[in-house]
A and B are shown apart, each in its own frame.
Chain A
């Protein structure tokens, strides 16, 4: 396992220049995702369309290259997706970063660059942090809340 397999160029690029990074003033839901193990945090803002799909999604926060790139890639991928599509994507992404089971589904697109995480079990939480936040955003539908990578 070479370090470049984890930190692929796309990941480094997204961590240096995260996409969809910033405030979303008319957001319906604001979710603060914390990884207490390392102090990383992501603030995810979501706007839903009439059908409950993701009309817009942005984030702020600070963290390692893995969590920042994961958030950046995720927001690009999920914009315009319905709830069921997003949750399907979440399951596929979780599989991608935790299982060494063959080819990653094509539907994941660019997210497949995160595959190297499966060789670094301590970093799975970093990769999943933004996804836990978006899951909570759907769950909640409106308002502001916090999710953590550690159950309390």
Chain B
């Protein structure tokens, strides 16, 4: 498979000193139940480097004021920092203009914005929204709500046993009635990396728009919305070293200019009379109320931090960890590993016959190992694979092979304990 299809820029071996990067994360010195913390839950939320924590502190200590209206010094500083953050996000994902970046609370809110504002205007009864069986609930439930409201229908690209999309089925599903194809870049349960550029091209071929859920990819690999060809991209800051409560929606300018506001309030208006108002252009039209200013600034600091390491190197590092974990998990008794063998994101989901995912995660926690057990907001996908849940280990550049070795030891212990 060609890397370019995945928006992955491959590099040869790198010279990053990964272990020293751990020093940037104060929380990695924590202990849990008397053991050094092994944090394998970065797919849920990543840890934060000191640079991001300091950026938040610096904002509140030196720049805090509301944006876009005060005429005083601090307001100018805050406005400048907030808009600079927007520009930084645009650069980071290769968006041509900062006006195509709307700050949101995260991936979920970004997708809801598209479903409500764009979907509310353009989706009619009989239209089809095409999704996949591997979508996170955040890229499923907003479309169910839209379908209920409008009479639109949902279709789903099936997932094959190896955890990849059944693309042979795509021509039957991606028909003229499809107005939007919304899919995840990297599956949060399977680790599957979907061929985004190919899927966007196929969507456009039938006149549909393409939305990419980049929650699991944007902090892990180099991507460029122009090269991928997507019309919308949704992601969260907190999975890429940024603060919680901040994320973004990228949408092409022509699309943003064609859709009405979704939340009304201050910041998004030009003028307000008692009966009627006029609205600013995108992106401010979609940011009613005081935004998460500190969050946006923290996200920009996270971007600077990640770019300082290099996302291509991060991708390779994470891929090696994920492959190593998959290999070593096969040593465990009666253990099933989910997802593709070769190309995968920085996570691995598995089930052990010996223990239920919740028992396993409780057990692991007693040894300082943070795993996630459950359905991972993927209930339909869990049903597809005939399990109620899995145990997931997810990695980031601050994790090490030694930590995976320790995980395998702990899982061996668990297998003996519960058998």
Asked if B388 contacts A62 (CB within 8 A), the reply is yes
Is A38 engaged at the interface, CB distance under 8 Å to the other chain?
yes
Q: Is the CB of A2 within 8 A of B362?
A: no
Docked CA distance A3–B362 (Å):
8
| A78 → B minimal CB distance (Å) | 24
Known: A38-B389, A39-B382. A123 touches B358 (CB 8 A): yes
Q: Which residue of B lies closest to A2 (CB)?
A: B366
Closest-CB distance, B136 to chain A (whole angstroms): 16
A63 and chain B: residue at smallest CB distance = B356
In the complex, residue of chain B having the shortest beta-carbon distance to the beta carbon of A6: B362
Q: Which residues of B contact A37 (CB under 8 A)?
A: 374
Known: A39-B389, A63-B356, A65-B359. A7 touches B375 (CB 8 A): no
A37 to B417, CA, bound (A): 24
A64 touching B356 by the CB < 8 A rule? yes
A95 within 8 A of B: no
Which residues of B are found within 8 Å of A64, using beta-carbon distances?
356-359
Distance A117 CA – B88 CA, assembled complex (angstroms): 47
Asked if B379 lies at the interface with its beta carbon under 8 angstroms from chain A, I say yes
Interface residues of A in 59-116 (CB under 8 A from B): 62-66
Q: For chain A residues 1-46, which have a beta carbon within 8 Å of chain B?
A: 1-3, 6-7, 12, 37-41
Q: Does B60 contact A (CB under 8 A)?
A: no
Minimum CB distance partner of B364 in chain A = A3
Task: Tell me whether B418 and A12 are in contact (CB under 8 A).
Answer: yes
* Contact present for A66 and B374 (CB under 8 Å): no
Query: A108 to chain B: closest CB distance in Å?
Result: 22
Number of interface residues of B (CB under 8 A): 18
Please name all residues of chain B whose beta carbon is closer than 8 Å to the beta carbon of A133 when the two chains form the complex: none
Q: Given the known A-B contacts A38-B357, A39-B374, are A123 and B366 also in contact in the complex, defined by CB atoms under 8 Å?
A: no
Interfacial chain A residues near B388, Cβ < 8 Å: 38-41, 62-63
Cα–Cα, bound, A65→B414 (Å): 13
Contact B366 A3 (CB under 8 A): yes
Measured between alpha carbons, how far is A51 from B411 in the docked complex, in Å? Answer: 49
Cβ contact within 8 Å between A65 and B418: yes
Nearest B-chain residue to A62, judged by Cβ: B388
Does B355 lie at the interface of the complex (its beta carbon under 8 Å from any beta carbon of A)?
yes
Is B373's CB within 8 Å of the partner chain A? yes
Q: Does B250 contact A (CB under 8 A)?
A: no
A37-B374, A38-B389, A40-B388 known; A120+B362 contact, CB < 8 A: yes
Produce 1/0 per residue, B319-363, CB < 8 A to A: 000000000000000000000000000000000000111110011
Contacts known (A1-B33, A2-B366, A39-B374); A7 close to B359, Cβ less than 8 A: yes
A147 within 8 A of B: no
Give residues of chain B (383-419) contacting chain A, Cβ–Cβ below 8 Å.
Answer: 388-389, 417-418
Question: How far apart are A111's CB and chain B's nearest CB, in angstroms?
Answer: 19
- B374 CB contact (under 8 Å) in A6, A38, A41, A62: A38
Does B375 contact A38, Cβ atoms closer than 8 Å? yes
A137 at the B interface (CB under 8 A): no
Across the interface, which residues of B come within 8 angstroms of A1, CB to CB? 33, 366
A54 interface hit (Cβ, 8 Å): no
Give the distance to chain B from A66, nearest Cβ to Cβ, in Å. Answer: 7
Query: Inside 8 A of A123's CB, which chain B residues have their CB?
Result: 358, 362
B375 touching A66 by the CB < 8 A rule?
no
- Chain A residues whose CB sits within 8 angstroms of the CB of B355 once the complex forms: 65
A39 touches B359 (CB 8 A): no
Complex-state Cα separation, A89 to B294, whole angstroms: 51
A128 within 8 A of B: no
A126: Cβ under 8 A from any B Cβ: yes
Contact B379 A39 (CB under 8 A): yes
- CB neighbours (8 Å) of A2 from chain B are 366
Inter-chain contacts of B362 with A (CB < 8 A):
3, 6, 120, 122-123
Q: Is there an interface contact between B417 and A7, defined as CB atoms closer than 8 Å? A: yes
Residues of B within 8 A of A65 (CB): 355-356, 359, 418
Chain B CB within 10 Å, residue with most, of A1, A12, A38, A120: A38
| B33 A38 Cβ-Cβ under 8 A | no
A40 to B387 Cα, complex, angstroms: 10
Could you write out 6 A-B pairs with CB less than 8 Å apart? A3-B417, A38-B358, A38-B389, A39-B389, A62-B388, A122-B362
Interface residues in chain A, defined as those with a beta carbon under 8 Å from any beta carbon in chain B: 1-3, 6-7, 12, 37-41, 62-66, 120, 122-123, 126
Give the interface of B toward A (CB within 8 A).
33, 355-359, 362-363, 366, 373-375, 379, 382, 388-389, 417-418
Which 3 interchain pairs have the tightest Cβ spacing? A39-B388, A64-B356, A64-B358
Q: A3-B363, A62-B388 are known; give 16 further A-B pairs, CB within 8 A.
A: A1-B33, A7-B359, A7-B418, A12-B418, A37-B374, A38-B374, A38-B389, A39-B379, A39-B389, A40-B358, A64-B358, A64-B359, A65-B355, A65-B359, A120-B362, A122-B362
